[in-house]
Amino acid sequence: MIKRKEAMSMDHKENFKGGTGSLSFVHLFTKEELPKTRLCSVLTVEPGASVGQHSHTGEGELYVVLDGPVTLQEDGVDHILHTGDAEYCSDGHSHGVYNHTDKPAVLMAIVML
């Protein structure tokens, strides 16, 4: 399946998952287009913004850092991820993303059922 950029939806969220600041999402595919996913998006985390710490139940989430670095907290432990690094938060675990830099960070986020 090919999907052109013009067909992708976008939205912005503030304080996402209890985090801080502004995030923008480009939704590459919808859950109807990819039935075994709940989210397949490119996420831009503005400087000083974060995706709050959250857990996954009955699903997992994959992050791929497209433009970093970011601080990723996985099960309460901080890790610095750089461009090209990836993290998978499996069922029953938690994570959050923090941009402590002065430029936007970009990640691909896929929530798999």
Instruction: Tell me the domains of the chain and their CATH numbers.
Output: 56-113 (2.60.120.10)
Which amino acid type is present at position 70?
A: V
Q: Report whether 24 contacts 10 (CB < 8 A).
A: yes
* Spatial separation of the C-alpha atoms in residues 110 and 64, rounded to whole Å: 9
pTM of the model: 0.94
- For residue range 20-60, list pLDDT tens digits in order: 999 999 999 999 999 999 999 999 999 999 999 999 999 99
Q: What's the rounded Cα separation, in Å, for the pair 30 and 27?
A: 7
- Total number of residues shown for the chain: 113
pLDDT of residue 59: 97
Summarize pLDDT for 67-82 with one digit per residue, the tens.
999 999 999 999 999 9
Cα distances (Å, whole numbers) of residue 33 to 3, 6, 12, 61 = 10, 16, 21, 18
Q: How confident is the model at residue 91 (pLDDT cuts 50, 70, 90)?
A: very high
